[in-house]
A and B are shown apart, each in its own frame.
Chain A
C-alpha cells in the first residue's frame, strides 16, 4: 500500500510540475473565460454599433420601399434603418451612388428591387460587402413579409386585429416529461436547452478527459520503457501496483484539471454582468438534476479506467515513443467512435443506435450519459450499463495487467499477439 501511494504521489507531482501541463491548463482556462464572457462582449459591441443602415433609391418601386421604411421606423427593435438616395436617372447611376454610400460609410448595404410579374411581388436583392449577413437579411425578410401582406390584402378590408393575427408566427412548445414517475411536470424549453448544453459540454469533457489522460499514461509507460528506468521500477515494486498507481495518479491529475476548469467557469458565470445575462435567458444552473452531476462523475471515472487500462497495456508493449501513436490507433478509433455516437445522438437520444451503444462498455460512458441527460431510461438500464462497464473494466484491467507484466520487459519491435502469448507463458503470468 505504501508503494502504491508512492507511485500515485510521484505520478501526480511530476505531472503537475511539467511546464506543458501548467501551460495547457492556463490556456484552456483562459479560453473558457473568454467563451463564457463572449455573449456579454458581443452585446457590448452591438449596443454601441446601433442600427444597420441600408440604402435604397427613392424612385425604386416606392409602393414597396415607403411602407418598408415606415415598418422599420415604427418597430424599434428591428435594428435596421433605411436611408433613401435620390434617383440619378439610370440604374447604373443609382447603384453608383449607393456604392459610394457604402464607401463613405453612410450605409453598410443597399437593396435593389425588381418587378417580378410571376411572383406578384418585386424581387429584392440585398447587396453588401460582407458575406452572408444572415441577421440583416432575416430582418429585411420579416419587414418585407409584413409589407407584402399589407400589399396583398389592402383591398380585403381586414381589421388591424385580423392583420396582426395573420402576421403572428405560430407558437409551438416542446416540453419533456417523464412517464416513469408522476412527479415531474415536464421541463421547460429553457431547461431542456440547459440539459442539452450540459450534456453536450460533458460529452466533450468526457472525451477530452478520457482520451488525453489515457494517452498520457501510455506515453509515460513507453517513456519509462525506452529510458530503461522500467527495469529498476519492476524490480522495486510489483507491476500491478505500479500500473494501477500510475492510473490512479493520472486520474487525480485529470480530475484536478477538470475541477480547475469548473471553478473558472463558475467564477465567470457568477460575475454580475453574466448573471444578469443568464437570468435574462431564463437559465439557472440549479435547474440541472443534481443526479446528472453525479452520473457525469461516475461515467467519467469508469470511462477513464476502462480506456486507461487498455492504454497502459498498449504502452507497455511499445519500446519507443515514436511507435506509440500507431499502436494506439485501435483505441483512438474506439474513443472517437464513442464520442461521435454521443454527439450525433444529441438530436435523437431515443434511437436504436444510442440504446444499443449505451450497453457497449466502450461507448456507454458517452451514450448512457446522453440518455440519462436527455431522456429518462429505466433504472435497470442504467444499472445494467454500469454493471457491464464495471465488468469490462475488471476483465480488461486483468488482461491489461498481464500484458503489462510481460510487455514491460520485452524490448525491440512491437510483439505480435502470438509472441506476447509465448512470452506470457515463459514469464508465467
Chain B
C-alpha cells in the first residue's frame, strides 16, 4: 500500500479552478517532484495533502486511509514562506511544535539536540530565531518540519535562498530521509534538484497536470535535439547541413552547440564536421528537465 495516494483531486476557488484532476502516488522511500510555474497549483495541491483545504472532488489516502486529525502527527511540512516565532527561543518553539504533533517533551528535546548536532549548530539551542543568519533560520525551519519523525514529508521549495554549501547539506539530509523510508512530496523551481533527487514527477501547468511519470521515461519521450561538437579548430558551415536549426558557439571557444530537428541529423552533422577537422568531442544530449519544462509550460513561466 502506497503511503500517499491522490486520486483525481480537484479544487475550485469560486469560478477559478486551482487544481484540475491531479492523480499521483508516492511510495515509501521516494521523493516525488511537483513542478510548475508560479500559480500552477502546486501550493494548493500541497495544502490539500496537508488537510488545510478540502478537495472539491477526488480522494487523498494516507496509508490507505482518508484524512483525519490523527494524520497530522504523521505529516511534516516545510512551507514555502518560512516562518517561526522571531522572539522565542529555538528550543522552546521547536519543542512546542513537536508537542502539537503529539510528541512528548522529552523525546522532542532529544530529537532537537540530535538534529542541531547533525547540522553542527548545537550552540543555537538557546538562541532566538531573529539572532540567526537566514541560512541557519532555514535549517531550524527544516528541523521544525522533521522533528516529530513524520512518515510523510512535504517540502515546498526546500532549498530556496540557501548558499551552495547549505543546499548540499540539506540535499544530503533529504536523501538520507528518503533512504530511511520517508515518503516525500517535493516542489521546486530548480530543475537540477529534481533531476538529482526525484524518481517520478508531475509538471503542472495552469491547474492541470500536463506531464506525469518516471523522469527517465519522460526524457525518452522528448527527442534528443541538441548536439555538442567539440574541436580545436573552427568549423564552418555547420548551419548548412540539412536539418540543423540553430548553431551557437560555446563560450570558451572549444566547440559548438547545435540544435537539430531529428536524431538522424546528428549522423550527417558528424560526417560534415569530421571532414573539416579533428573532433575532440561529439555528443547527442538528452533534453534537460529545464527544456522539457519550458517546452510544456511555455512562455507563461514568469
Interface residues, chain A, CB within 8 Å of chain B?
Answer: 2-3, 6-7, 10, 13-14, 18, 224, 227-238, 409, 422-423, 425-428
Chain B stretch 87-104: residues in CB contact (< 8 A) with chain A: 87-88, 92-93, 96-97, 99-102
Residues in chain B near residue A227, CB distance under 8 A? 83-86
Q: Are B54 and A428 in contact (CB under 8 A)?
A: yes
Q: Are B79 and A232 in contact (CB under 8 A)?
A: yes
Residues in chain B near residue A18, CB distance under 8 A? 87
State the CA gap A198–B21 with chains docked (Å): 65
Q: Are A409 and B82 in contact (CB under 8 A)?
A: no
* Candidates A7, A232, A425; contact of B83 at CB < 8 Å: A232
Knowing A14-B92, A426-B12 are in contact, say whether A228-B100 is a contact too (CB < 8 A). no
Q: Which one, B1-9, B69-77, B289-297, is touching chain A?
A: B69-77
State the CA gap A2–B99 with chains docked (Å): 8
Residue from the set A7, A14, A231, A427 with the largest chain B CB neighbour count within 10 Å: A231
Additional A-B contact list (7), CB under 8 Å, known A232-B84, A423-B13 = A2-B99, A13-B92, A231-B81, A232-B77, A233-B97, A235-B72, A409-B53
State the CA gap A412–B234 with chains docked (Å): 56
State the CA gap A137–B82 with chains docked (Å): 70
Residue B144 lies at the interface, judged by CB distance under 8 Å to chain A? yes
Shortest distance in angstroms between B51's beta carbon and chain A's nearest beta carbon?
Answer: 7
Residue B50 lies at the interface, judged by CB distance under 8 Å to chain A? yes
Residue B14 lies at the interface, judged by CB distance under 8 Å to chain A? yes
Q: Are B97 and A232 in contact (CB under 8 A)?
A: yes
Knowing A229-B84, A231-B77, A235-B50 are in contact, say whether A422-B14 is a contact too (CB < 8 A). yes
State the CA gap A133–B219 with chains docked (Å): 96
Shortest distance in angstroms between A231's beta carbon and chain B's nearest beta carbon?
Answer: 4
Knowing A14-B92, A231-B77, A426-B13 are in contact, say whether A236-B84 is a contact too (CB < 8 A). no
Residues in chain A near residue B165, CB distance under 8 A? none
State the CA gap A216–B93 with chains docked (Å): 19
Residues in chain B near residue A409, CB distance under 8 A? 47, 52-53
Count class of interface residues, chain B = 20 to 34
Interface residues, chain B, CB within 8 Å of chain A?
Answer: 11-14, 47, 50-54, 69, 72, 75, 77, 79, 81-88, 92-93, 96-97, 99-102, 144-145
Q: Are B54 and A237 in contact (CB under 8 A)?
A: no
Shortest distance in angstroms between A255's beta carbon and chain B's nearest beta carbon?
Answer: 22
State the CA gap A6–B97 with chains docked (Å): 9
Q: Are B83 and A228 in contact (CB under 8 A)?
A: yes
State the CA gap A10–B100 with chains docked (Å): 10
Residues in chain B near residue A230, CB distance under 8 A? 83
Q: Are A427 and B100 in contact (CB under 8 A)?
A: no
Residue of A nearest to B88 (CB): A14
State the CA gap A7–B96 with chains docked (Å): 8
Residues in chain B near residue A237, CB distance under 8 A? 72, 100
Residue from the set B51, B72, B75, B100 with the largest chain A CB neighbour count within 10 Å: B100
The 3 closest A-B pairs by CB, nearest first: A228-B83, A236-B100, A229-B83
Residue of B nearest to A6 (CB): B99
State the CA gap A422–B23 with chains docked (Å): 26
State the CA gap A236–B95 with chains docked (Å): 12
Shortest distance in angstroms between A7's beta carbon and chain B's nearest beta carbon?
Answer: 7
Q: Are B86 and A228 in contact (CB under 8 A)?
A: no
Knowing A6-B99, A237-B72 are in contact, say whether A232-B144 is a contact too (CB < 8 A). yes
Q: List 28 A-B contacts (CB under 8 A).
A: A3-B99, A3-B102, A6-B99, A7-B100, A13-B92, A224-B85, A227-B86, A228-B83, A229-B84, A232-B77, A232-B97, A232-B144, A232-B145, A233-B100, A235-B52, A235-B75, A235-B77, A236-B97, A236-B100, A236-B101, A237-B72, A237-B100, A238-B69, A409-B52, A422-B13, A426-B12, A426-B13, A426-B53
Residues in chain A near residue B84, CB distance under 8 A? 227, 229, 232
Residues in chain A near residue B52, CB distance under 8 A? 234-235, 409
State the CA gap A7–B100 with chains docked (Å): 8
Shortest distance in angstroms between B41's beta carbon and chain A's nearest beta carbon?
Answer: 14
State the CA gap A235–B144 with chains docked (Å): 12
State the CA gap A427–B81 with chains docked (Å): 20
Residue of B nearest to A227 (CB): B83
State the CA gap A18–B87 with chains docked (Å): 9
State the CA gap A2–B92 with chains docked (Å): 17
Q: Are B83 and A427 in contact (CB under 8 A)?
A: no
